Every structure is written in structure tokens, then in C-alpha cells.
Amino acid sequence: MGAHLPAVLRRPAVLWTALIAALAAAVVTVLVVVPDDASEASYLDPEAPVAARVADLLGRMTIEEKVGQMTQVAVPAVEGVPSDIAELGIGSLLNGGSDALHDTAEGWAAMIDGFQTQAMDSRLSIPLVYGIDAVHGNGALPGAVVFPHNIGLGAAHDPDLAGQAAAITAAETRATGVHWTFAPCVCVARDSRWGRTYESYGEDPGLAVEYAGPVVQGLQGANLAANTSVLATAKHFVGDGGTAFGSSTTEDYLLDQGVTTLTEEELRAIHLAPFKAAVDAGVGSVMASFSSTDLGGGPVKAHADSYLINEVLKGELGFDGFVVSDWQGVDQVSEDYAEAVRLSINAGVDMVMVPFEYRRFIDTLVAEVDSGGVSEERIDNAVSRILTQKFALGLFERPFADTSGAGEIGSAEHRDTARRAAAASQTLLRNDNAILPLAADASIYVAGSGADSLGRQLGGWTASWQGSVEAVTEGTSILAGMQEVAPDAAITYSEDASEPIGDAAVGVVVVAEDPYAEGIGDAGAGEHDMRVSDADAAAIDTVCAAVDCVVIVVSGRPIEITSHLAPVDALVAAWLPGSEGAGVADPLFGMAPYGGRLPVTWPRANDQEPMNVGDEAYDPLYPYGFGLQTAG
């Protein structure tokens, strides 16, 4: 009998995913959760139209339950009190910054299903939707494939390949029980000092427009309810890539949370166009930006910009998904929390990433409704948008994780796609005397901080918010990739170039930035100054003075390298290539072509920033779109 009941009516007394994780067989006791008037509950009918299901469910909800659905909570906030999920009807959970909370798909699924059991135990059994920052692969799972960050994909100029990467990301994410990714970032980076530059496809809005559709479709698939699809999020709405250096009101954030000042025509042409492409592709959610926009009347926080969210995004562009806030983004709208909540919700934010003080948020928003500050009609609109996506995800029929695809996580096929993406992103900027590609049997001296550092080539948003030099995921370093691609080469490795160079015929120095993410990565806010480190500079000087020399730059944006170029024969921008270092080695040895082209302008010096193609004073080291080609 149970097999013929809608899944929302079945609640396992024991978490089956936890049993899978333990590899034990058990008999699952099926209990029936019956809401009031279940015989007439059309929201439980999978054959009913989604709009009818939403309307039916909405009509059964109290204002408190509706506000609960608008609340997104971080896992640490409810770990000790999971019953709050049922009591308050919390609609969504997340873990911040791609934190690697579990080592296996089954471990993730068991955790999420534990919380989902609480949600299904609520009065109306409305399932949770769980979100994560799977922005270049499921970076929260150590064995998952990690793709090049967006800037590398932009250099490849291959939206279809990016769509394939997105589809693999979706499959490797949904197999862990996660339903929703906060990607793609369709920002247009107009100043490379911005710590999120690598999350952008480039400085030209045309790139983001080209990529938005295939990536959204790759993530969401043909059927959002499939166990290989996740809800996508276009972010950050709108103009976050255009903030002015030093305009942030938060001292540590020189660009990331600053002000974008421009005309509305410029905003539409540069920053809004990619969101239109994402909406046209059917994106299910949009995330508001931390930044502010000044169209001539003074800066307005994006979270409270009713014109841009309500009138432009939801009205003019026809976006019918839901708008989610960024991490505590609502709190920044006003020092008066009630005012901040009122302004943000009325401006069109549908779900609030609280992420910790969820009772405070719920109580505040309910009080605002009671006082008339926020209308119940506005609440109904927000909740309808959220529920629509939950129905589309199939969560009411299948609320618990389907880990049947876990065996494909990190598969050879998936890694091959990541390797092809890394190879396609390699951008050749100098090749004097046609030194590249290298001979497969060459005698090579390898140095530099990025040569054998998986963590540096993965970058931020990998296993944690800021990433780590000490990588905790699986993959192949660039050095290991060279050894794999050219097993007959005689390779000597010394990170700091302190070992004798001997009779090596060529040197390869891989310079790298340490991992970073938003805010902390802004140039001028700490150690991330977009310059070659002293240790890497010394390695260039030592190696390139002795032998013909290739310098590979592992970075999330252009770095100031002009003063180090005199002895360099070949220069390659590898960007942040992800877990498959062999993709960097493939064109190095001619197994694939160099075909990447700069998605951002490469300045001679950092103080030239911001510099973008089309500027009146445009004197870069390498212009936008530049890239030498080789045969593969």
C-alpha cells in the first residue's frame, strides 16, 4: 500500500540514508503523516497542476508557517535543536562557504535526511530545500570533481563545455541529498582587484550572457525533479562586479560590498543583461547582492532596491522564481532590524538567509505583518514562489535523498570533462622561439609555489569559504599532471628552486596566488595584492636565468608580472584550473591546443585598474581577447 501513497504521506521512523551509510539492511517502518482535511488536500496530489497545489497548500498555512518557509538557516544554528525545524516550519537550510561537513555522499544524505525528517513531521509536512555553494563542482565533498572557476571557463570561450561541467556538478551535488546550488555567478568583473573576479566569466557582459543559459540549463536539467538536477541561482543581483574601489562602508571590503555608480543604461547593458539570459533559461532563484547601486539618486542597498527587484527583475524580465538574500545581507539594510526586514521583504526578497538568529527573524516579520508594515499578500507571493520551486524539485513526492548516483561522483568520465575544461582554459600569452609545446621526452626543471599545490589550483569555495593551501579534496596537481602526460620526460622538482638545475633543457615555474574568496581577496585588503610573491619571483630569477623558461600563472585574475618577464620565454595564464592538473599539462606538451583567450584585460601594473576593453585610455600588457594559438 505504501508504494502507492504520495511520498509526502510516508515518514520513515529510521533514517534510511543513515542505514545506507552504515551498509546495513533494515526494515523501515512506515508511518502516515496526515494533515488536516487530507482527503481534500490537492497539494498532495502529484497529478494536480503545480499552481493548484501551491494555492491549496498556501490556503492551509498560518502566517507563522508562511514566514517559516521564508527562513533559511545555517546548519550549526539548528544542530542542537533540530525540532525547531518542525516547530517553526523552517523552509530551508544551508551550510556556508562549501564547508566539507561530511566525507561521503551517504554522510551528507544522512545529515540532510535527518533534518528533512523534522520538516516532514511538521503540521503540513512541507519539505526543506537545502542549498550549498557548489560553484565549480561540489567542492564540499572531498571526492567530487572540481572544475575551473568561471574565469577559466570564460577564457575557454566554450559555453557548451561549461554547461557540461554544470550538469556534472548538479549530478554530484544532488547525489548527496543537496537540492540547490548558489550558482552561477553571472557578475561582470570590471575591476580585477575585486576578490570575486574569478567567479566572473569576464569583463565583457557578452561572455556572461553566453554562459548564463547553458550553465543554468546544465544545473537544472530537463527535469528539475531528476536525481541529477539542482535548482540554480543567478547571482548577485545586480551590479556587484562594478563596485568602485574603496566605496565599501565596511573597512575590510574595499570592493566586494561597495557601491556601483553608473547610469541605468549602463547598468542594463553591462550588469543586467546576463540576468535576463538566466531568467530566459528558466533559472529558479536569484540571489541579491551585498553591494549598493547608485543610478544618480544616491546608493541603495541591493537587498532593499524595490525598483530593481520588483519592477525590473520580477516585472520587466518576468522572473517567476524566488529571490534569496545573501548571508546576513538583510541585516545591512538598516541598523533598525525591523526596518531592515520590512524594507527587504517589501523590496522583493522572498527568502532570507538569516542564517543564525532565525527566531528573531520570524518574530520580526510576523510582527511586521501584524502591524501592516508588510502585507499578507506580499508574504503569500513570496511563499508561492518558494513552494513552486519545491514542487518542481519533486520534494513533496521524494523528500529524502536519492544516493543512487553516488557511485559516479569523481568518476573517470567526470574527471575527463574537468580535464578538458582546464585544458581549454589555458591562455598562452608569450611563446618566444616557439618554445611551447614541450617535447614529451624533455629534461625539465620544475619550480614555483603552484607546481605541486592542489589547494592553490582549486582556489576559494573549495571545502571551505576561503579555500586552503592544504587541499582536502582529491585531484592531480600540475606537477603530477606533467608526470602523467609526459612519462618519458626527465622532471626535477624543487619548489623554491634551491636544488641544482643540472642539465635540464627547460624550466617551468608555476607561480600562484594563495586561495581566497570574497572580501578577504580584495587587493589591498590583506596579503592578496595581485603581485608575484617574493618566493616565486626568486624562482623565476633563478630558473629563467639558467635555461629556456616557461612561467605558468595560477591565479583568479591577472597579477602584476611585468617586471619579471624579461628572461621569460613563454607565459601561460592557467587561472584556477580545478582538480585536474593534467589539463594544464596537456597543452604544455601539445596533447591539446592552446586556445584560451583573455576574458579580462591584463594590465601592466595594478594601479591601472580598473581597465576594461573599450576604455579611452587603454594600454594593457595584454588586451582583452588576446591569446596565442597552438596546434594540439
Catalytic sites, residue numbers: 326, 518
Q: DSSP character for 254?
A: S
Grid cell listed for 103: 566525507
Residue 458 to residue 475: CA distance in whole angstroms? 9
Q: In sequence order, what are the beta bridge partners of 427? A: 573
SS3 of 133-148: the string is CCCCCCCCCCCCCCCC
SS3 200: coil
Asked if 420 and 596 touch (Cβ cutoff 8 Å), the reply is no
SS3 (DSSP) at 562? helix
DSSP assignment of 140-186:
TSTTS--PPPHHHHHHHT-HHHHHHHHHHHHHHHHTTT--EE---B-
Residues contacting 210, CB < 8 A, separation 6+: 159, 201, 277
525-563 core/surface letters (b: 16 or more CB in 10 A; e: else):
beebebbbbeebbebbebbbebbbbbbbbbbbbbbbbee
The residues, ordered by sequence, that sit 6+ positions from 439 with a Cβ below 8 Å of its Cβ are 489, 589
DSSP states of 412-434 as a string?
Answer: HHHHHHHHHHHHHH-EEEEEGGG
Q: Does residue 600 contact residue 558 with C-beta atoms inside 8 Å?
A: yes
Task: Transcribe 9-41 into DSSP letters.
Answer: GEEESS-HHHHHHTT---PPPEEE---TTGGG-
Residue spans of beta strands (DSSP E) within 308-383 = 322-324, 352-353
* Cβ proximity of 295 and 267 under 8 Å: yes
- Residue type (1 letter), 518: E
End-to-end Cα, the chain, rounded Å? 60
Question: For 417, how many CA atoms within 13 A lie in the half-sphere containing its CB?
Answer: 22
- CB distance 554 to 511 below 8 Å: yes
Question: Is residue 328 exposed (0-12), middle (13-18) or buried (19+ Cβ within 10 Å)?
Answer: middle
Q: What share of the chain is helix, strand, coil (3-state, %, to 5)?
A: 40, 15, 50
Residue 543: phi and psi, rounded to 5, are -75, -45
- Residue 190 near residue 247 (C-beta atoms within 8 A): no
Output the nine-digit C-alpha cell for 566.
Answer: 624579461
Phi-psi map region of 508: left, alpha, beta (phi>0 left; psi -120 to 50 alpha): beta
